[in-house]
Amino acid sequence: MKSAQNKEEFMNQFSKAALSATVALSMIVPSAIYAQEQDTENVNTNAAIYKTLEQQQNALSAYPILTQAGFEPYSDETEKGTYVIPGLDSTLTLDDQDKVESCDSMTPQGVAMADDYILISAYCHEHEHHSVLYVLSRNTHEYVKTIVLDGKPHAGSIAYDPIARNVWIATKDHKNDTGSASFIKLANLDTYDFTKDKAPLKYDYSIDLPQLRDDSFMTCYNRQLYCGYFSKHDNSVKTYIYDINEADGKLDTTKRHVAKAYGFDKIGDNCQGIAIDDKHIYLSSSDGPKSNSTLSIFEKSEHSLLTSNAQKNVTLPPRLEQIYPTGNGGLLTMYESASSAYRDEGSTIVDRVVTMNIEDMLKN
């Protein structure tokens, strides 16, 4: 009898200790575990179209370059270098009255690598909800959280300044109908939690760019921000290059350069993205569901942004959007075809960010 009583007292003490430990753990790691679980309930993290990567690969069999330069070079890496685009079926964001609401028409546009993150921008195709940034882990490829942006920018391109640690977003000056650019400090992106705040993450800095009819594409390279658009009117690439102030990371508008590329009309006003590394300039173009996309690779020139002839033109599936260098020989490619607005068009669908190996693209 005494032994049974001691056993019961021990179990009661053990249960209290276990409960205390659980409470203590929840106080220590809420953002790492509990907030993460809550967040994933507010966005679909599975691939929108293909349940497995193998199914996605089979769907892309008509484009052998995706196997040769996309999947095979990264066969030993997580998901073969691909990242599932989250939120295409459901994303919790804000409506026109800033009330929390689920959106089922998010359309991915931009992609960038920012320290340990892969960032994907998306806008509501019905223009009823705030645009967003999806944050993924660069290493595990898992969804981390959603950043709800201020307003409904198309967010056609995003970029990262690794020195100032700012995430740049292509925005719009609606009052003057011209392009603009904004950034959010990565530190503020780190601490933001929409599930708690129920409010958008404000931009830390915005600037109107009256020289631009629109901010169609954007990238950051060598302490400069490249913003521009393509025009078929005079067959030129119109790009403005702004120096980034070393002190605060903002644009120094007194140091603005104009870069044009004459004689290159293959892409025209269908350009969706630009990327630059130490060896090449890359352009992505697409024009609806019936035409293949083109990824053009140019050797860098000292005298113009682009030469008239690309070193390589790579044919890829329709609706290719932004591209972004990984810094280790890869190029991230983003497609919008898995959006609910486009997935029934009958064209090839890509519901993942696919990493392309640059050397392998140039060889084929």
Output the CA–CA distances (angstroms, integers) from residue 148 to 12, 316, 335, in the order listed: 46, 30, 21
Q: Is the dihedral of CA 237, 308, 287, 105 positive or negative?
A: negative
Residue 43: which of 125, 136, 126, 109 has the closest Cα? 136
Residue 273: which of 129, 135, 141, 120 has the closest Cα? 120
Angle, CA 311 vertex, CA 307 and CA 312 arms, to 5°: 130
Which pLDDT score is estimated for 328? 95
Q: Is 105 helix (H, G, I), strand (E, B) or coil?
A: coil
Is residue 1 a contact partner of residue 8, using CB atoms and an 8 Å limit?
no
Consecutive H or E run containing 242 = strand 236-244
Is residue 267 a contact partner of residue 308, using CB atoms and an 8 Å limit?
no
Pairing of strands 217-221, 205-209: unpaired
Phi/psi at 132 (nearest 5 deg)?
-140, 165
Q: How far is CA 349 from the centre of its chain?
A: 17
SS (H, E, C) 258-304: EECCECCCCCHHHEEEEEECCCEEEEEECCCCCCCEEEEEEECCCCC
Which pLDDT score is estimated for 16? 44
The tally of CA atoms less than 13 A away on the side-chain side of residue 243 is 9
Q: Helices (DSSP H) in the chain: which residue ranges?
A: 2-28, 35-40, 53-59, 64-65, 186-191, 194-197, 358-363
| pTM assigned to the model | 0.86
Which pLDDT score is estimated for 26? 38
CB neighbour list of residue 72: distance below 8 Å, 6 or more residues apart: 360
Which pLDDT score is estimated for 7? 43
Other residues' Cβ atoms within 10 Å of the Cβ of residue 235:
15
165 class by beta-carbon count within 10 Å (0-12 exposed, 13-18 middle, 19+ buried): middle
Determine what percent of the chain falls in helix, strand and coil, rounding each to the nearest 5.
Answer: 20, 40, 40
Q: What's the CA gap between 66 and 32, in Å, rounded?
A: 35
Q: What's the CA gap between 283 and 290, in Å, rounded?
A: 20
Is residue 204 a contact partner of residue 185, using CB atoms and an 8 Å limit?
yes
Residue 152: which of 180, 121, 177, 124 has the closest Cα? 124
DSSP 79-98: GGG-EE---SS-EEEEBTTS
Domains of the chain in start order, with CATH, are 47-363 (2.115.10)
How confident is the chain (364 residues) per 10-residue block, as mean pLDDT? 46 44 37 37 92 98 98 98 98 97 98 98 98 98 98 96 97 82 98 96 95 85 88 67 93 77 53 91 90 92 73 96 97 98 96 98 90
